[in-house]
Amino acid sequence: MTDDPEVFDEVKDHITATLLYVTKPDENRLQGIEEFIKNKYGVPEVEIQIKEDRSLKGGFILRVENEEYDWSNRGRLRQLRSLLEKSDIDETAENAAADIVSVLREKVENFELQAESREIGFVTKVGDGVALIEGIDHAFYGEVVLFDNGIKGMVMSIERKRMGVMLFGDEDDITEGMKVARTMSEAGIEVGDNLPGRVISALGEPIDGKGKIEKMGFRPIEHPAPAIIERHPVNTPMETGILAIDSMFPIGRGQRELIIGDRQTGKTSIAVDTIINQKDKGVICVYVAIGQKASTVAKVAQILEKNGAMDHTVIVSATASEPASLQYVAPYAGTAIAEYFMQQGKDVLIVYDDLSKHAVAYREISLLLGRSPGREAYPGDVFYLHSRLLERSSRLKESLGGGSITALPIIETLEGDVSAYIPTNVISITDGQIFLEGDLFFEGIRPAVNVGLSVSRVGGAAQSKAMKKATGALRINLAQYREMEVFTQFSSDLDPATKEQLDNGRALIEILKQNVGNPLSMPEQVVSLVAANEKLFMGIPIDQVKQFQTDLLKEIRENHETIISELNIKKELPDGFRDVIIKTVREYKEKWLAQQTSKTE
């Protein structure tokens, strides 16, 4: 046995309590309070120190150890204020004043004063968005605590004699010795059906100037991921509208597909195009901006608005100018919103842009809390930081509503180094990655998808039968072209078969190029791929291949609606129907080439 007094809690036979009052209590009241403390804490002796405090406005407050019992008028007002904050009042309505009076009257009439029993502690140190608190012994990780000045914080570190709290407000008004109370509630965000179309902060507050958002519920930002038995296999396409991705690296509903690459290589563009492509498909989209410039977030919102995609999109923003605590909370808040819609049986797409900055914010908080740094100064649990976030994305069984969350996390690399700490962590968590290469981007190949390093671990299971059949050997042909291009760049004498392979490869590269904000529908992609596999883009000058593809798809949409409708309805590509597409493309190619020849003459 050890005699170390730190090992076991000391058994006390004496307690000192503090009583704050406006009107000094008489001996009978003091004796009743003393008996209450003895019975509550099981001690034979109690010493009560009494102090006058006019700010209580009436009543009294009793503090014993790290607990506080509030019977004051000030506490009564706080309870009333809390009730009113939960009341649903439209402050913009013409009868707002009458609503407020009505709610006030109802709340006051039905209000019953209850003694608030709260566990309290005191700030010992504050700075850089973090406060250290002593005196609270029973708080749990992720619990919200309330400072005396109304600012809230979240428990991030629990030690034997103190805990670390990250702040959700301005630390300038928090001083050493300030009282802090437990709220017994998890950090969460208010959710509702009116969130699509809005831009909100990481705490759920509207920041788009469009007024108040009507909320319908509350969800904790941290929530256990669905169990394996609750999940449905990923077999339904989540079409991005980007030909290079939907054909070679298909994404399914409920999948987590990483978008990774250097800065300014088109990562956000792929995510935004995917959101735009969900228009009129019943998919709710959540775009989480972490550590981005406010102007960048505004630009994304403007692009979505312009393309009619904002109506089904929620933007959760924690910009670079905001504290690390809000950047840390943002992706969890976005996922809570996504889960709200998933529980209704809806399909949700969530984009985390980007998790590199999220990890940096967590590293900053952890170092300020005094945690031991590990590789690249990240704390030891940085893997768990993202695994518990991304595991919440899944597709639920039909018996649970059949909703899904599809995640597109974004990671920024430095000079293409995918072996760095955070990239390797997230790669091991996700179901595949789309690697964007800087060299391809600057060559004008956009999206700059590296075919060799990109993969989807769901693969053809998330493709329609038509798309799977139309894709054929596209990825192999591209890989062979890349290899052949390297070996023949210094050769001038090439055999016809090699020349044909190179010409076909260059045409494939051209048709896979795609402008931002111009997603292709599944039928349009199938037509392009069928034509490419038949080498129908050969014979067209390489600088005109893209224009021919654009004109061809316009012709199909306007004059061959049966092809579009057949693919949309049946989502299959039987040989006879494939032959019809090939014949249509060949006829239009002859017509198009004749038109180009007449223009040059």
For residue range 76-90, list pLDDT tens digits in order. Answer: 666 556 555 555 544
Q: How far, in Å, CA of 447 to CA of 515, rounded?
A: 8
Residue 106 has pLDDT above 60, yes or no: no
**pLDDT tier for residue 587 given thresholds of 50, 70 and 90:** very high
Give, for 275, the enclosing helix (H) or strand (E): helix 267-277
pLDDT recorded at residue 31: 80
pLDDT recorded at residue 86: 52
Strands, sheet with 199-201, edge to edge from the N-terminal-most edge strand? 199-201, 313-318, 283-290, 347-353, 404-413, 258-262, 432-436, 455-456
For the record, the structure tokens of 432 come out as: 């595949």
Three-state DSSP class for 502?
helix
Tell me how far apart the terminal alpha carbons of the chain are, to the nearest angstrom.
102
Give, for 224, the enclosing helix (H) or strand (E): none
Q: What are the distances in angstroms from CA 499 to CA 24, 502, 513?
A: 101, 5, 22
131-144, pLDDT tens digit by residue? 999 988 889 999 99
User: Are the C-beta atoms of 379 and 323 separated by less than 8 Å?
Assistant: no
341-395, pLDDT tens digit by residue? 999 999 999 999 989 999 999 999 999 999 999 999 999 999 999 999 999 999 9
The residue with tokens 């190029």 is 513
Where does CATH 2.40.30.20 sit in the chain? 115-187
Q: How far, in Å, CA of 368 to CA of 377, rounded?
A: 12
User: φ and ψ at 238, to 5 degrees?
Assistant: -115, 90
Q: How far, in Å, CA of 68 to CA of 48, rounded?
A: 14
- One of 3.40.50.300, 3.20.20.140, 1.10.287.1080, 3.40.190.10 is the CATH number of 195-208+247-462, namely 3.40.50.300
Average pLDDT taken over every residue of the chain? 87
The single residue of 457, 475, 482, 506 carrying the catalytic annotation is 457
pLDDT recorded at residue 459: 79
Q: How many helices (H) and strands (E) does the chain have?
A: 18, 20
Beta strands 258-262; 432-436: pairing state: parallel
**pLDDT tier for residue 561 given thresholds of 50, 70 and 90:** very high
Where does CATH 1.20.150.20 sit in the chain? 469-600
pLDDT recorded at residue 338: 98
In this predicted structure, which of 216-230, 249-263, 448-462, 574-588 has the lowest mean pLDDT? 448-462
Q: How far, in Å, CA of 204 to CA of 199, rounded?
A: 9
Whether 506 is a known active-site residue: answer no
Residue 315 has pLDDT above 90, yes or no: yes
pLDDT recorded at residue 6: 44
Q: How far, in Å, CA of 154 to CA of 241, rounded?
A: 40
Task: Give the CATH number of domain 469-600.
Answer: 1.20.150.20
Q: How far, in Å, CA of 159 to CA of 181, rounded?
A: 17
Q: What is the mean pLDDT of residues 271-290?
A: 96
**pLDDT tier for residue 491 given thresholds of 50, 70 and 90:** low
For the record, the structure tokens of 482 come out as: 């890349």
Q: Which residue has the higher pLDDT, 180 or 459?
A: 180
Three-state DSSP class for 144?
strand
Q: How far, in Å, CA of 314 to CA of 306, rounded?
A: 15
Half-sphere exposure of 296 (CA within 13 A, CB side): 19
Q: What is the mean pLDDT of residues 112-124?
A: 73
For the record, the structure tokens of 54 come out as: 């006019």
Q: Which residue has the higher pLDDT, 16 or 359?
A: 359
CATH architecture of 115-187: Beta Barrel (2.40)
Q: What is the mean pLDDT of residues 514-532?
A: 93
pLDDT recorded at residue 522: 94
213-267, pLDDT tens digit by residue? 988 899 999 999 999 999 999 999 999 999 999 999 999 999 999 999 999 999 9
Q: What percent of the chain has pLDDT over 70?
A: 89
Residue 594 has pLDDT above 60, yes or no: yes
Where does CATH 3.40.50.300 sit in the chain? 195-208+247-462
pTM equals: 0.84
CA 231 to mean position of chain CA atoms: 20
Q: How far, in Å, CA of 365 to CA of 186, rounded?
A: 19
pLDDT recorded at residue 2: 42
pLDDT recorded at residue 28: 76
Q: What are the distances in angstroms from CA 482 to CA 476, 477, 495?
A: 10, 9, 17
401-421, pLDDT tens digit by residue? 999 999 999 999 998 899 999
Residue 283 has pLDDT above 60, yes or no: yes
Residue 151 has pLDDT above 70, yes or no: yes
Provide Rg for the chain, Cα atoms.
31
Residue 66's nearest CA partner among 126, 133, 130 is 133
User: Are the C-beta atoms of 519 and 283 separated by less than 8 Å?
Assistant: no
pLDDT recorded at residue 30: 80
pLDDT recorded at residue 91: 46
Q: How far, in Å, CA of 167 to CA of 178, rounded?
A: 14
Residue 589's beta-bridge partner residues? none
CA 368 to mean position of chain CA atoms: 24
Q: What is the mean pLDDT of residues 571-575?
A: 92
